[in-house]
């Protein structure tokens, strides 16, 4: 799995054209990471944005949403082996196993989310 990197500069003053270009680029891409850094320079201040994209058809969210699920508006079990390439699935499996191991160690459900109460 080879990521490609794409760089954008979004000026602080009049950012709309650059924002539109970035948002258009992001549509339908499998975005792995987005890094941003503020570049202070008076009237020339801007955000530097680096987007890494992994290969694959369409966005990752579109890939995991089956047509039947989208029509019914409900979730169904997803076999990620059918959606992810071999490298992506290997990483997914490692993270899934780690999540389950930590849940057992902490004696909580594997899908428990922290709450503020």
Domain ranges across the chain: 4-57
Average pLDDT over residues 18-27: 92
| pLDDT at residue 38 greater than cutoff 90 | yes
Task: Give 15's pLDDT tier (boundaries 50, 70, 90).
Answer: very high
| pLDDT at residue 102 greater than cutoff 60 | yes
| pLDDT at residue 24 greater than cutoff 80 | yes
Task: Give 66's pLDDT tier (boundaries 50, 70, 90).
Answer: low
Residue-wise DSSP of the chain: ---EEEEEEEESSS-HHHHHHHHHHHTT-EEEEEEEEEE--GGG-EEEEEEEEE-SSS-HHHHHS-HHHHHHTS-----HHHHS-HHHHHHHHHHHHHHHHHHHHHTS-TT------
Position with higher pLDDT, 31 vs 15:
15
Contact indicator for 52, 62 with CB cutoff of 8 Å = no
pLDDT of residue 117: 45
The closest alpha carbon to 52, from 12, 25, 88, belongs to 25
Average pLDDT value for the chain = 82
Where is mean pLDDT largest: 35-44, 50-59, 87-96, 106-115?
35-44
């Amino acid at each position: 799995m080879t990521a490609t990197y794409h760089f954008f500069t979004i000026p602080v003053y009049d950012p709309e054209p650059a924002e539109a270009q970035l948002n258009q680029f992001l549509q339908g891409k499998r975005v792995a990471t987005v890094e941003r850094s503020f570049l202070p320079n008076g009237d020339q201040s801007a955000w530097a944005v680096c987007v890494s994209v992994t290969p694959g058809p369409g966005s990752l969210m579109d890939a995991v949403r089956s047509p039947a699920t989208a029509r019914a508006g409900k979730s169904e079990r997803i076999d990620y082996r059918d959606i992810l390439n071999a490298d992506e699935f290997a990483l997914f499996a490692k993270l899934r196993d780690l999540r389950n191991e930590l849940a057992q160690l902490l004696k909580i459900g594997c899908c428990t989310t922290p709450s503020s109460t």
